[in-house]
Structure 1
Amino acid sequence: MDLDLAQVRAFLATADRLHFGQAAEDLSLSQQALSKRIARLEAELGLPLFLRSRQTVELTEAGQRFLEPARQLVAAGDRAVAAARHVERPLRIDVWGHLFAPMRTLRQALDRLPDQPVEVGAARDLPSVADTLARAETDVGFGRVHRSRGGDGEASAAGLTHRLVRLEPLDLVLGTGHPLAGRTEVRPSELRDSILWCPAAVERLDLLQRFSDEFGVPTASGPANLGLDHFLEQVAADPRRVGLIPADLEPAEHAPVRFVPLVDPTPLYAWSLLWRPADAHPGIEPLLRAFADVGRSSRWLEYRPGKDWLPDTDTADLGTSPLRRPGV
């Protein structure tokens, strides 16, 4: 049978919304026109795709099986139209890990691709990016990719691949009233009497949770992540609080905080690119090469065993990156 892409788009919009009226609005159709398209698709397939009632709309088992291939089909159709019209679709990049300012790193790679159109979006976290990648709603993610405790994590479960592109040293940030504020450097083992302040619930912040567990630093958090300035204000509000922050960030002039290097070991934040290998956007390979170039020139993947600290799940990626220098 020949699938009608308009009918498939109607199915996808309804599967995403599980509401015929909202799906019709998304496609600028009447609800009657949307229902007819789905009815024709179901008739062609010889299977119902939705279970309908007065209150709910749900996918049938056939609808669930049809969903992901249907997304790939529509994405392929869009690429075919763009290729025929010689239209280069922007590379869509979703970033997360906002407290650590991902655009500082991403921008340096994108500067080497001046002719590549790019759209950058802000994502909540790794699971949300893995979901949008699996749905083909974005092309590449940029942030810290990690396996969850006791599992393989969202990336591998969704059939995605990733590459480590930067290991960024982290400093200690603390208020000027903290007992360690006058030090020129601090060891993580000296923080057991401090409180590691987290911008959100520590259960959602894998790196901070693992740092806390590794070095025995108790944690506390605020109700919401309201950005870097608010985070620094919260750290400074209690002389027991400390935080982790990229070493090359500068605190705002008015913030009563100090940045102090952490040593023996220095914690590193592992930045990775994450993408869907099936039907990958052609801009991903140039982006990987740009990261490789700037990574080599800026020594982004240097790792000193015994002097630097990464969670075990991050060190497993060191050997897979082509940027790591032999013997480092």
Structure 2
Amino acid sequence: MDFEAVRTFVAVVEAEQFQEAAAELSISQQAVSKRIAALERILGVRLFHRTPRGAELTIDGQAFLPHARELLRVVERAVASVRPGSRPLRVDVIASRLATSGMLRGFHRTHPEVDLDVMKLFDAGTAVDAVRSGAVDASFRAVAMPDRPVPDDVATVRVLDEPLQLLVGPGHRLASARSVGVAQLAGHRIWMPGIAPGTEWGAYYADLAAEFGLTIEATGPNLGSDALLDTIADTPALATFIGEHTRLVWPTGHDLRRISLTDPTPVYPHSLLWRRDNPHPALVTLRAYLATADRTPGTWTPSWVI
């Protein structure tokens, strides 16, 4: 069914004349007549009687009118649902405890008028595909991974260089240190069961280990942050890396220590990705809020980071 014909039918009903409806729709009276005739052929009934005073609904026209108006309301709602700015801004933060989630929380506090739909996509390839297809409006990632360039239709901007810290239990040899040179960690066992092959953080830590001669173990199942913290607290021989802005809470008895890394400080490079032609107005607001990350001297990132 031609929705413009339905719209024309309702316009004639409200104007009570074909000529007035034509003026309202900015088309000719002949075009109005053709649309009504086509609609009548589809429905198999007459909708109007022509009278000296204008156009009057037939019984069938009266029966069709409330449904025609509802059809137009449904079409308007469908159009409004995808009109730029009318739906929530959908952003992928990878995981809820990371700095990326904290950045989005800060944005929400500053711009509570922006509706947000928060996603957690694990794989970088899935996230980029979602950005390109419009399934999400933006994603936080480290770009670009080796042999995985950013597609031409995806824009990126570096939004946070997050310093890496060492997390140890009270019995670890470095537990009393306030800071330690990253090269001094050579020979220490660093356990990170959350590293998954093919992820951007997997590539990041592989390059970090190679650059400074570190031993990073990803053995054993990833049973979540609670299990990791329990093990680090109870095992003096193990340490792990954690982002400075990663939010973790542990029992007081664990007495875990965050130790700053220096000479140089490894930083994890968070970038925002979005499709270049994405028209959502809140995306511009998010980009303006995040701005660009400061480049602090004396830091390290892999050579593939943009």
> Normalising by the residue count of structure 1, what TM-score does the alignment of the two structures yield?
0.62
Aligned partner of residue 92 in structure 1, secondary structure: strand
C-alpha contact 2:84 2:279 (8 A) present in aligned 1? no
- Please name the residue that 2:118 is paired with: 120
1:218-249 C-alpha deviation (Å, 9 max, x unpaired): 12124444443332223334323222212255
Alignment of 1:193-232 (within 5 A): 193-201=187-195, 203=197, 204=199, 205-232=202-229
Q: Please, which of 237, 248, 268 is the counterpart of residue 240 of structure 1?
A: 237
Q: Deviations over 1:71-109 (max 9, x none)?
A: xxxxxx999812798971110011115563421122112
Q: Which amino acid aligns with 2:232?
A: V
CA-to-partner distance for each residue in 1:157-187, whole Å, 9 max, x for gaps?
Answer: 3731111111111211112222111212111
Q: 1:152 aligns with which of 134, 148, 167?
A: 148
CA distance in 2, matches of 1:213, 1:258: 25
CA spacing shift, 1:223–1:181, aligned 2, 3 Å? same
What does the per-residue CA deviation read over 1:236-265, in whole Å, with 9 as the maximum and x for residues that have no partner?
Answer: 343232222122556522434211111111
Contact 1:145/1:274 (<8 A) preserved: no
After superposition, residues 61-140 of structure 1 pair within 5 angstroms as 81-82=79-80, 88-96=86-94, 100-140=98-138
Structure 1 equivalent of residue 171 of structure 2: 177
SS at structure 1 position matched to 2:180? coil
C-alpha distance in structure 2 between counterparts of 1:122 and 1:273, whole Å: 14
Q: Distance in 2 between matches of 1:116 and 1:226?
A: 35
Tell me which residue corresponds to 1:286: 285
Unaligned runs of 5+ in 2: 1-74
Q: 2:301 aligns with which of 307, 310, 318?
A: 310
1:100-135 Cα distance to aligned partner (Å, 9 max, x none): 342112211232222111110111132221122222
Runs of 4+ in structure 1 displaced over 6 angstroms?
77-80, 83-87
User: Per the alignment, in what secondary structure is the counterpart of residue 157 of structure 2?
Assistant: strand
- Match status 1:167 vs 2:161: yes
Select between 194-203 and 246-255 the one with higher mean Cα deviation: 246-255
Consecutive unaligned residues in structure 1, runs of 5 or more: 1-76, 318-328
What's the CA shift for 1:209? 1.5
Give the distance between the partners of 1:308 and 1:119, measured in 2 at CA. Answer: 33
Amino acid at match of 2:154: L
1:172-215 Cα deviation digits (max 9, x unpaired):
11122221112121111111111221133453322222211111
SS at match of 1:313: coil
The reply to whether residue 301 of structure 1 matches residue 294 of structure 2 is yes
Identity of aligned residues (%): 28
Amino acid at match of 1:213: A
> In the aligned structure 2, how far is the partner of 1:291 from the partner of 1:131?
23
Matched residue count: 228
Alpha-carbon distance in 1 for matches of 2:277, 2:87:
17
Q: In 1, Cα distance between the equivalents of 2:180 and 2:302?
A: 19
Change (3 A) 1:118 1:84: closer
1:269 aligned partner: 268
Is the deviation greater in 176-185 or in 259-268?
A: 176-185
1:272–1:217: structure 2 CA closer, same or farther, 3 Å change rule?
Answer: same
Which residue of the partner structure matches residue 19 of structure 2?
A: none
- Give the distance between the partners of 1:251 and 1:172, measured in 2 at CA: 16
| 1:124-153 C-alpha deviation (Å, 9 max, x unpaired) | 1322211222222111112x322232x133
Q: TM-score, normalised on structure 2?
A: 0.66
Alpha-carbon distance change, 237 to 102 in structure 1, aligned in 2, over 3 angstroms: farther
Using a 3 Å threshold, how does the CA distance of structure 1 residues 160 and 167 change in structure 2: closer, same or farther? same
Q: Greater relative contact order (Cα 8 A, min sep 6): structure 1 or 2?
A: 2
Q: Distance in 1 between matches of 2:162 and 2:278?
A: 31
Deviations 1:29-62 (A, max 9, x none): xxxxxxxxxxxxxxxxxxxxxxxxxxxxxxxxxx
Mapped to 2, the partners of 1:233 and 1:141 lie a distance apart of 31
